Amino acid sequence: MDRHLSRRRVLRLAAAGAGVAAVGPWFLRAGYAQAGPPPLEKKDTYTVGFAQTGSNNPWRLAETKSMNDEATKRGYKLIATDANEDTAKQLADLDSIIAQRPDIIIFPPRESKPLAPAVLKAKAAGIPVILIDRDVDHSVAKPGVDYVTFIGSDFVDQGRRAAEWLIEATGGKAKIIELEGTTGADPAIDRKKGFHDLILQGSFKGTPVADPQPGMQILASQTGDFVRDKGRQVMQTLLQAHPDVTAVYAHNDEMAIGAITALEEAGRKPGQDVILVSIDGENAALDAIVEGKLGASVESSPFFGPISFDTMMKYANGEDIPDWVKVEDRFFDKNNAKEFQGKQY
Ligand code: GYE
């Protein structure tokens, strides 16, 4: 056997080889209990399970459309569900998808810990899983072992980039309100981490990258659930407790736009006396940047259709898939927002 084959590839080849001689579910075959994710057969067409978390913001809608469009383009059948931003419903949706036995399941886990067992369930049913846009807790389910891969952004890095921009824009002096994403969601955990590391410790992933920032103070952090109106409401409340706020870090654009409304309703001038930075890069955010109300937005792309199906095909072809298929993100601020205005989602 070629020593240069990776362990994962060896396991996958072993599992595939076992299919020729043995009968019964692949995961029960002797010696393959430790094998990686269930294999995916090469076929002309596929049935793909897609369990969306919800449809309450433009980002989610753009992602769903991207998955639908790509499935249609390739002539694949999509079994799609929408959990209405309810973690228990997403678990139930996945149970029902598993029962329909699709060839593969591709989904964004709403929360990283509660959804990890669903990945193990799919594996036990012999259905490979690709996670997109949010990851699960690796202490429960592991990429390359329990599921094929995680396709998505580096959320810690997004938080770092937002912090770097804010330090620069405020000259290292700011009183910050942080509007967090959905509690327990991978991007909310990591976007907080990347930002806090840089602001509070002057370090990134354990390595010093900037001077400690004694002038940057985080006044309060609270979840706005990645939703515009919740962002507005939370900002309204936090503004009363912290009228001295001079900056807002929102984990997504929708909450930043909600915060802009709350600030304006309170007679404040977003972009002037309160500087805002957020993440995603949706059309409404580009408009707000051009209007001078939002300072910058770190991109987090929702267009997972093409990359999901390409990765799935590579897996079916027996190619090596890294544990993390990283999506590279651009950065939008007043220097380039006009150029992308109306071209996003
Ligand atoms: O930033 C946010 C959405 O999981 C990366 O979820 C995604 C995030 C995205 O609701 O707008």
Cβ of 57 below 6 Å from ligand 1: yes
**Which pairing describes strands 174-180 and 247-250: parallel, antiparallel, or unpaired?**
parallel
59-72 per-position pLDDT tens digit: 999 999 999 999 99
127-175 per-position pLDDT tens digit: 999 999 999 999 999 999 999 999 999 999 999 999 999 999 999 999 9
pLDDT (0 to 100) of residue 201: 73
Residue 295: which pLDDT band, with cuts at 50, 70 and 90? very high
Cβ of 107 below 6 Å from ligand 1: no
pLDDT (0 to 100) of residue 116: 98
Give me ligand 1 centre to Cα 170, in Å: 26
Residues 332 and 284: beta-carbon distance below 8 Å: no
Residue 6: which pLDDT band, with cuts at 50, 70 and 90? very low
| Proportion of the chain in helix, strand, coil states, percent, rounded to 5 | 40, 20, 40
**Coil, strand or helix: which one is 111?**
coil
Is the predicted pLDDT of residue 229 greater than 80, yes or no? yes
CATH code: domain 7-151+302-328 is 3.40.50.2300
Cβ of 81 below 6 Å from ligand 1: no
Residue nearest to atom 7 of ligand 1 (CA): 133
Q: Ligand 1 atom closest to Cα of 155?
A: 5
Residues 126 and 150: beta-carbon distance below 8 Å: no
Give me ligand 1 centre to Cα 164, in Å: 21
How far is the C-alpha of 332 from the C-alpha of 14, rounded, in Å? 46
Question: Which superfamily, per CATH, for 155-300?
Answer: Response regulator (3.40.50.2300)
Give me ligand 1 centre to Cα 182, in Å: 9
Q: Ligand 1 atom closest to Cα of 185?
A: 4
Q: Ligand 1 atom closest to Cα of 134?
A: 4
pTM for the whole structure: 0.89
**CATH 3.40.50.2300 domain range(s) in the chain:** 7-151+302-328, 155-300
Burial 205-223 (b: 16+ CB within 10 A, else e): eeeeebeebeebebbebeb
pLDDT (0 to 100) of residue 274: 98
Cβ of 60 below 6 Å from ligand 1: yes
Residue nearest to atom 10 of ligand 1 (CA): 226
pLDDT (0 to 100) of residue 153: 98
